Amino acid sequence: MEVYVSYERALEIVTSQQFLLPAERVSLFEAYGRVLREDIRADRDDPPVPVSAMDGYGVKSSDVESVPTKLRVKGVIPAGSEEIIEIERGEAVKLFTGSVVPESVETIVPVEWTEERNGYVEIKRSFPEGANVRLPGENYRKGQVLVKEGTVLGAPEVGIAASVGKPYLKVSVKPKIGIVVTGSELLEPWESVESPVQIRNANGYTLYSLVKEAGGEPVYFGIVRDNKEKTLKVLSEALETCDVLLTSGGVSMGDYDFVKDVVKELGVEVLFYKVQVKPGKPVLFGKKGNRFFFGLPGFPVSVFTSFNLFVYPLLMKIQGAAEIFRPRVKGILVEDFKRRKADRTEFVRCSFSYSSEEGKFLVSPLRRQGSGVLSALVERRALMVVPKGVKSLNRGDSVDLILVKGL
Ligand code: AMP
Ligand code: MG
């Protein structure tokens, strides 16, 4: 076990875990948000044949060099029609967006520049050869990899799978993530408060949502009181049935913090305990075979940041994602930032906005930085990284910003 490791070392330990979940086949209706475990290739050229990009008239380009001019309308080719009408000089064929373009058509005049009357069409503007024709393979070529293995499937990727004729996709099995919340002071949101020492369990629900955001299947085990036997019983059940187990609270140095003792009794190999980060110092990470365990702190903001920093990459990695981290961007600090101690990497909760004038993200630290102040994280949020050893930053400095906002 390594104790009080640097942020970088903790990340290295988490991301060097080699376990990969099995893959399964799911229909496109189920594919959104899943991690793709095969390449999606084009089954044919797209478009497969030359098609019209506009509603208009297919003509010979030499016929529309000097305009206005009148051409005889030889026929109509609706989109999806296999009937091909070839044209001679002096003729036009009416086409629609997606209509197959006959070989004899050299250019397409959009309908806005025409007027059809009594079998003739008047062309009011000249168009060069090849205008408004989508050539075969313009979108993609047969055999081309369109979506790479390891991609988290978003809406366009699912649409692409459909367009190449794949009703099913090979994706990672969803990791089962157990959530156990510890604390004798906690109440579920539907329970009534009977004493001022009771507080509501926020973390169970923050974690449940974060797990979903990371593509996992949350399994909620509820609240366990600060009692060693009970904690042992629930954690042992949870660990048997889940790929990753998350606990909140009970992992600090207090007399009632049983999680770290219990974890050892469960046969979990603790890989690190405590990280040089703020917030979220008392994070514990361990494993038992192919199962992983995170003991997260109790403070709601610490839970949120430590999930994003350490749990999220592990969940993405075991699903086979190519990009396992939350996105990072550079931003410009709009005010000075100072802190008393620089012994940890700090993840300062920030709001940010994009300045199109400067082409940059403008970053302002939130006023309320307490670990218990979850309300400060409502709406737009990001974590500004203040490296260990850095005591102050100035207005105008370039900073790293971790975008933790999923929804
Ligand atoms: P602990 O690490 O168990 O000492 O908890 C640290 C602080 O976080 C205490 O003030 C707890 O009351 C608070 N806390 C612990 N668990 C939760 C939870 N599930 N929801 C909201 N606050 C919590
Ligand atoms: Mg506690």
Residue 255 or 123, more confident: 123
Residue where the block lists tokens 């490791």: 5
CA distance 230 to 237: 11
CATH code assigned at 241: 3.40.980.10
Do residues 240 and 374 both lie within one domain?
no
Residue 68 has pLDDT above 70, yes or no: yes
Do residues 344 and 398 both lie within one domain?
yes
DSSP conformation letters of 203-219: HHHHHHHHHHHTT-EEE
First-to-final CA distance of the chain: 35
Nearest ligand 1 atom to alpha carbon 182: 16
Do residues 301 and 280 both lie within one domain?
yes
CB environment 373-404: b (16+ within 10 A), e (fewer): ebebbeeebbbbbbeeeeeebeeeeebebbbb
Do residues 344 and 367 both lie within one domain?
yes
Do residues 14 and 38 both lie within one domain?
no
pLDDT at 380: 67
The 10s digit of each residue's pLDDT in 8-35 is 999 999 999 999 999 999 999 999 999 9
Mean pLDDT for all residues in the chain: 95
Model-wide pTM > 0.85: yes
Task: Tell me which DSSP letter residue 112 carries.
Answer: G
Q: What are the Cα distances from residue 30, in Å, to 141, 171, 173, 356?
A: 27, 10, 12, 37
pLDDT at 70: 97
Residues 6 or more apart whose Cβ sits within 8 Å of residue 126: 64, 65, 66, 67
Q: What percentage of residues in the chain have a pLDDT greater than 70?
A: 99
Do residues 147 and 213 both lie within one domain?
no
- Contact call for residues 39 and 151 (beta carbons, < 8 A): no
Tell me if 283 CB under 6 Å of ligand 1: no
Residue 407 has pLDDT above 50, yes or no: no
- Between the CA of 54 and the centroid of ligand 2 the distance, in Å, is 65
Token representation of residue 42? 């084009």
Residue 316 has pLDDT above 90, yes or no: yes
Rg, C-alpha atoms of the chain: 30
CATH code assigned at 58: 2.170.190.11
Residues 6 or more apart whose Cβ sits within 8 Å of residue 30: none
Do residues 355 and 278 both lie within one domain?
no
Do residues 344 and 270 both lie within one domain?
no
- Between the CA of 206 and the centroid of ligand 1 the distance, in Å, is 13
Residue 238 has pLDDT above 80, yes or no: yes
CA angle 66/68/74 to nearest 5° reads 95
Tell me if 302 CB under 6 Å of ligand 1: no
- Contact call for residues 159 and 147 (beta carbons, < 8 A): no
Band of pLDDT at residue 207, cut at 50, 70 and 90: very high
Counting ligands in written order, which one lies closest to the CA of residue 206?
Answer: 1
Q: Residue 323: inside a domain, yes or no?
A: no
pLDDT at 332: 97
Q: Which domain holds residue 163?
A: 24-46+139-172
Band of pLDDT at residue 297, cut at 50, 70 and 90: very high
**CA dihedral over 8, 13, 18, 22, signed as positive or negative:** negative
Do residues 283 and 307 both lie within one domain?
yes
Counting ligands in written order, which one lies closest to the CA of residue 223?
Answer: 1
Residue 263 has pLDDT above 70, yes or no: yes
CA distance 156 to 160: 6
Which residue puts its alpha carbon closest to atom 14 of ligand 1?
298
pLDDT at 369: 79
**Domains identified in the chain, total number:** 4
Residue after which a domain boundary falls, among 290, 318, 346: 318
- Between the CA of 303 and the centroid of ligand 1 the distance, in Å, is 9
Which residue puts its alpha carbon closest to atom 11 of ligand 1?
298
Do residues 159 and 232 both lie within one domain?
no
